[in-house]
Amino acid sequence: MCVSPDIHFSHPSTPLPPWILFLKQLNSCVWFTNLSHKSSTLYQCSFCRLEGKMKVKDIKQDDKHDKHARQNDKTSKVMSIGILLVFCGFSFYLGGIFCSEKHGFVSTEEVVKSAESPKKTVSTPVQVKAVSFPQCSADLQDYTPCTDPQRWMKYGRHRLTFMERHCPPAFDRKECLVPPPDGYKEPIRWPKSKNECWYRNVPYDWINKQKSNQHWLRKEGEKFYFPGGGTMFPNGVSAYVDLMQNLIPGMKDGTIRTAIDTGCGVASWGGDLLDRGILTISLAPRDNHEAQVQFALERGIPAILGIISTQRLPFPSNSFDMAHCSRCLIPWTEFGGIYLLEVHRILRPGGFWVLSGPPVNYENRWRGWNTTVEEQKSDYDKLQELLTSMCFKLYNKKDDIAVWQKSTDNNCYKQLDTPDTYPPKCDDGTEPDSAWYTPLRPCVVVPDPKNKKSSLKSIAKWPERLHVAPERVADVRGGNDGAFKHDESKWKSRVKHYKKLLPALGTNKIRNVMDMNTVYGGFAAALVEDPLWVMNVVSSYASNTLPVVFDRGLIGTFHDWCEAFSTYPRTYDLLHVDGLFTTESHRCEMKYVLLEMDRILRPNGYVIVRESSYFVDAIATIAKGMKWGCHKESTEYNIETEKVLICQKKLWYSN
């Protein structure tokens, strides 16, 4: 005899899966087969389909059956036994499934009981073994992992692709501490550092020797001095910027706040603009002899390693108020004008592109450019035609400086709808703000017409724009005016607390600052009155909040912290981390993130880690192995689940 198992739940209100209901129906039908030689009685089960139920009918022995019925009796028994075995097997199979899944069903009574008396679960903090990292070899003192000249030969030379980011594979990552150069000294403090730095901190003589007639810098004793010269600054950078301000009045009244300098030299242009309330990112590629970005950061001027080549720059669309090229040697009209199309993408509507050097003022300068007047005129005409096709208009021009302005009228881009027009509109589905290893495209990124308040003429002037919720905050999930104001208030409170824990914050001991995983730039905004600048970093895997940062008049970049940052070693005085390890723990190994932080942090520099209690002790353990001194503090609200770690990197020298 085989009986299907009866299934019971701990509470009658628990909903039953369909297959359980089927089993309970089977349970109402019992199969009996009497195979005794003395009795030929057969009990069969017939299915009553109308009600979806099974009923048992008793078929009794009839001595008056005809001979045909007796001959079929044996066949019926065999068929019944076969059906019986099939249903028994099916019943046990479903019963096994139920047993394996029974923990997925919880009674209503148990749920209510659990809700009424919750259990406190305490996560055990992450523990790691103590480790001591070795020193890297002395030849790695200026090691930049993702722009390493030692690996350039592995990549193509077309459009200088080899100078873009190419990070080493996991097996080739360094697990050592990058040493400072021999004779390294604590950097000169701002604002004195804008004009001088220690030679031993950036021991490169190439610019001093090769550009001595252009007065980029000069070496005197143990220092480099920066007189403010440059290829296009024969009268000094201040006179050059004075002329530029006369051509662009918006540079004087707070209309223009953010700028990018492509091919920045030693960042004298960006340094001069700081005194005029304009915050500039100076951009230059890694090289073997010039170290332009390293000089810029040693001076306390914002800069980042980068090149316009085959990939988009790591900035969102419609972000900068002004872009500048002073004889930066970028072939703007080559490759279909693809480099200029990238400048168009990152400039906000109404923004300015400033060019000095060939072919501007070719009528008077062509003889010194080793070319002909016809060639330079042709280059200028091509440039003007290309800019017009991208909806730029010549705004002003005088002497060696020409200024074009990006249109604020989207109707201008309708001209690109005509077939065979070049450049075409970008319509391939690539996000305008996608800018992390995103290939350049020979097309125009048309500004989103819904962002009517993001143009230069519509956005608030500096410093009011710092505190106004940008229009693009609505593009962020959960973003609105209220969330923006809450974030601003929160960071004012946090920074006030940080200054109690780290008295150096707000003094000239800290100049170059990085917020490693910002949202709206609240940390930077709370420090805006202090003698420092902040590089706001938004993870390439996080919500795209970087447009909001730029709309506030701050600067930043996209980055993935599983890789090395685009800067030289020893370039930041303070690194701020808010929940980065919690956010990225599933992707990035903590050890490598901390080693990268050590690489870019100056000796005697500081780190503020605001992190879950789950990770803080592990971070402190690894930090000790990197020669950092750390102490754990409470947050401003004394929350047990979150702690603040204050660390300082020690100054040490290579053995």
- pLDDT, tens only, 524-572: 999 999 999 999 999 999 999 999 999 999 999 999 999 999 999 999 9
- Residue 224 structure tokens: 């480099």
Residue extents of the structural domains in the chain: 18-116, 231-417, 464-649
Asked whether the predicted pLDDT for residue 37 surpasses 50, the reply is no
Are 416 and 354 in contact by the 8 Å Cβ rule? The answer is: no
How far does Cα 29 stand from its chain's mean position?
64
Asked whether the predicted pLDDT for residue 615 surpasses 70, the reply is yes
Mean pLDDT confidence for 101-120? 32
Q: What is the pLDDT of residue 330?
A: 94
The CA distance from 90 to 88, in Å, is 5
Closest CA to 238 of 288, 273, 203, 277: 273
The CA distance from 222 to 635, in Å, is 43
Distances (CA, A) of 411 to 318, 443, 449: 17, 17, 10
CATH of domain 464-649: 3.40.50.150
Are 276 and 248 in contact by the 8 Å Cβ rule? The answer is: no
Closest CA to 233 of 357, 85, 101: 357
- pLDDT, tens only, 183-236: 999 999 999 999 999 999 999 876 656 665 566 788 999 999 998 877 788 889
Say if residue 191 is preceded by a cis peptide, omega within 30 of 0: yes
What phi, psi does 18 have (nearest 5°)?
Answer: -55, -40
Q: Tell me, what amino acid is at 399?
A: D
Closest CA to 2 of 45, 37, 38: 45
- pTM value is 0.81
CA torsion sign, 231 to 234 to 237 to 243? Answer: negative
Domain 231-417 and domain 464-649 have a common topology: yes
CATH of domain 231-417: 3.40.50.150
The CA distance from 483 to 477, in Å, is 11
- pLDDT, tens only, 617-633: 999 999 999 999 999 99
The CA distance from 287 to 356, in Å, is 23
- pLDDT, tens only, 394-435: 999 999 999 999 999 999 999 999 888 999 999 877 899 999
Q: What is the pLDDT of residue 216?
A: 78
